[in-house]
Structure 1
């Protein structure tokens, strides 16, 4: 924070292609990829639960463990992809965000951004497209379930209850998808402006820092969405701020003692 522009430039040159840069850059993309891939996996699980509710309930825990493990492994592999192509990518330090990250290796005045664009499409845009597709498909099945529930049948009450549950799940997915999109758009715009030449190294620092950390709020948005959508959580939060809440938590001094025997009166 107290460094001059020259000192920051020297620091970036020193850390370029260093062990710190490789470890920090891989960890940075590992954090982003794991968050996105887990959302994709959760979106697929929700779609499976809506389309095949009986099979979803009967799936074993081991199957879920394998799916989550696959997400973590895929996140780690995708985070190391830039290290596989040292001729095109280099790990460096970005002072505006205080983070290490992979960047294109400048070999000439005409920089080819095709590799960076391909990397973003395969490991970021494609998972986001899958997440959106699962959200829309889930919405379609929920809508069709609602149409069937409105028909006068013997199990109308059960169908209506299931439809309300599915609708609640759909609302949660839609809010999550909206929050993820809103937090992601600014950083995509900043990168697009930089790659198109509207922003350069002299004026990209502050806009990129703001957009980058705004995108990092996605995890906070997910926590708020899942928490506020849960009725038990909302009721407990309201109960905390009611008078006398701490008294309810107080443990009586006689707690844990063996109760005295009650003898009948003669």
Structure 2
């Protein structure tokens, strides 16, 4: 059995305690009180998918549900831990029962960049036994300006011209904290600006970074960093460890 929703409004809230609430319906003040009830409904649907047949058909018509799909959703995402929110006008996600838990595939469009389509797609595998999630994301034509207006610490990105393609593979714990991360990003060309260094933006090309991070060890491994500024090429690599004394490395 499969449950398919087309064109809903979806609200996803990450609470300050890292808990997740999900609700459907128009994003209006009068619907605020319904969020908890809607979260319970969504959670129960996902539990049916992760454990199909756990109840008889007489108990619930959803007992044999094996997949749940949402197409062309309008999504408001609120992160109360980071104090930011995102709006995604075209979001697709599907959930599928697996032998060990739950898998999900997602896709959403971002604003076009330079007349080219921009999107993020990904896959998530959640294990009920280990209570962790393996996440794989692919970024296409991703404009880093998106972060500048959302995260104050990244406001410097507002002055940069950086468009990335990349991939991110991560293992998250039950509170969505990263345990291990592998990522690689690249940018064919763009420009960097820092008014304290140069009066005008400095063009770059052939930017590549490949790295991995293990939070259990506090270890960051920069496998490859490459950047060409004007006619000078900069390359680097190294391993770093975060401790109480700070970041140490080569």
Q: TM-score, normalised by structure 2?
A: 0.23
Name which structure has the greater RCO, CA cutoff 8 Å, separation 6+. 1
Q: Larger strand proportion, structure 1 or 2?
A: 2
Q: TM-score, normalised by structure 1?
A: 0.22
Q: Larger helix proportion, structure 1 or 2?
A: 1
